Chain A
């Protein structure tokens, strides 16, 4: 995978679903001289892409690349990047539709077809075309041998669109892949322990989406049962945040049920260290309980003190070869930023 955008929530879901930051097992690095023409062109295009902040330029780059090479390993990456900017930055979904449809007509490689169809599903989801989304999902499932990540992507798109029955359908089908064996079948290079954890987390994803869909259909007992089934399987970040949306949806469900105090208990760590959605959900529960936002920030500050985790110790070199030791800076306020230059 090349360009993924952190402002794109789906990306989080896919990364976390896999169990870590690798969206795919690392491909073997091939030396520059062995790059094919299309890989070379893709590399050059991404280099220009990174130089610009202008979404108009970015979609133009993707358009040009796809016009020259519609059917390659890079199709999905360019298409998803273009769709993202057409819809999120430029508010021109019709242009995105045109690009995706044109590309789909020219793509024969099964993986590239699946990625292209998935972008069509993204567009149906964003524009609220629920029937088209369901029909497309069915025809994709017939054409391709779905992996867990395909089901997960459709769960997410269905959820964003409010296509609750479609979300439940893929949550139920996805559950069949929520085992270490299924994980290893897709990613054989990972060890057993990793596969076991990833398999459990897949369960949590499916139960989270299923529960939230059930809650939105008014089936609260079923929703709570789904969350309870999933919670044992989920896993947590260094800061204690659920790596799946299970706690977020559970909390939002409790608010819908008129239990805002329980919702806040469920959401507190998520609201402090997790997504903006979780903070928003906590604020909604607070307002449901208190009738006002007053006191919310003070409460969050108090919770922050209570739930904060210690910084793990580390020592790393700077570019002059001197070592920075985190333990030498107790008493300072530290802003630690992880980055990469690409």
Chain B
């Protein structure tokens, strides 16, 4: 599972300007809240709805889970990850460092 792997990244780089935003896409609030509490997640945790619309699919065009985007300081999507395997967080950290210019 990807989300708990993001917590250490957020803790490590939050002071340098990293924001981690997880968007739960299924409106499965009960299970989401349970999972968030169990995993002690402290970054931005959002629910996906905007009226009848659905931001993950219609705005971010994400259809498979997990998928993540890394956005630079100018608001451009510089990296994307579809799926998540053990060890992907290492590559993600490299990319974060690159965007934070560390």
Residues of A that sit less than 8 Å from B by CB? 6-7, 11-12, 15, 20-21, 237-239, 273, 275, 304-305, 308-312, 314-319, 324, 329-342
Contact = CB atoms under 8 A, between A and B. Distances in A.
Nearest to A316: B46
A7 B65 CA distance: 11
Contact of B66 (A239, A324, A337): A337
Contacts of A315: 50
Given A335-B9, A335-B21, 17 more contacts: A6-B83, A6-B84, A7-B83, A239-B77, A273-B79, A311-B75, A318-B46, A333-B17, A333-B100, A334-B19, A335-B20, A335-B96, A336-B68, A336-B71, A338-B68, A339-B23, A342-B31
B46 A317 contact: yes
Contacts of B73: 330-333
With most chain B CB atoms within 10 A of its CB, the pick from A318, A333, A336, A337 is A337
Interface residues of chain A: helix, strand, loop or mixed (majority): mixed
Interface residues of chain B: helix, strand, loop or mixed (majority): mixed
Given A319-B45, A324-B21, A339 B57 contact: no
**Chain B interface category by residue count:** 35 or more
A339 B24 contact: yes
Given A338-B25, A339-B2, A339-B22, A333 B70 contact: yes
20 contacts: A6-B84, A21-B63, A308-B77, A319-B33, A319-B36, A329-B19, A330-B75, A332-B73, A333-B13, A333-B17, A333-B19, A333-B73, A335-B69, A336-B60, A338-B48, A339-B23, A339-B24, A339-B65, A340-B24, A341-B35
Nearest to A12: B64
B19 A316 contact: no
Interface string B69-99: 1111111111110111100000010001001
Contact of A337 (B6, B13, B18, B74): B6
A315 B33 CA distance: 20
Nearest to B1: A339
Given A315-B50, A318-B47, A319-B33, A338 B18 contact: no
Contact of B80 (A273, A330, A331, A341): A273
Complex A-B, nearest 6 residue pairs according to Cβ-Cβ distance, in ascending order:
A21-B63, A6-B83, A308-B76, A238-B61, A334-B71, A341-B31
Interface in B49-64: 49-50, 55-57, 59-64
Given A310-B77, A332-B73, A337 B3 contact: yes
A154 B58 CA distance: 30
A275 to B, nearest CB: 8
A338 B25 CA distance: 7
A246 to B, nearest CB: 18
B80 A334 contact: no
A192 to B, nearest CB: 18
A333 B96 CA distance: 8
Contacts of A318: 44-47
B36 to A, nearest CB: 7
A331 B17 CA distance: 8
A91 to B, nearest CB: 17
A62 B26 CA distance: 25
B55 A314 contact: yes
With most chain B CB atoms within 10 A of its CB, the pick from A273, A324, A338 is A338
A310 B75 CA distance: 6
Contact of A340 (B26, B46, B79): B26
A337 B68 contact: yes
Contacts of B85: 7
B82 to A, nearest CB: 7
Nearest to B57: A21
Contacts of A337: 2-3, 6, 20-23, 66-68
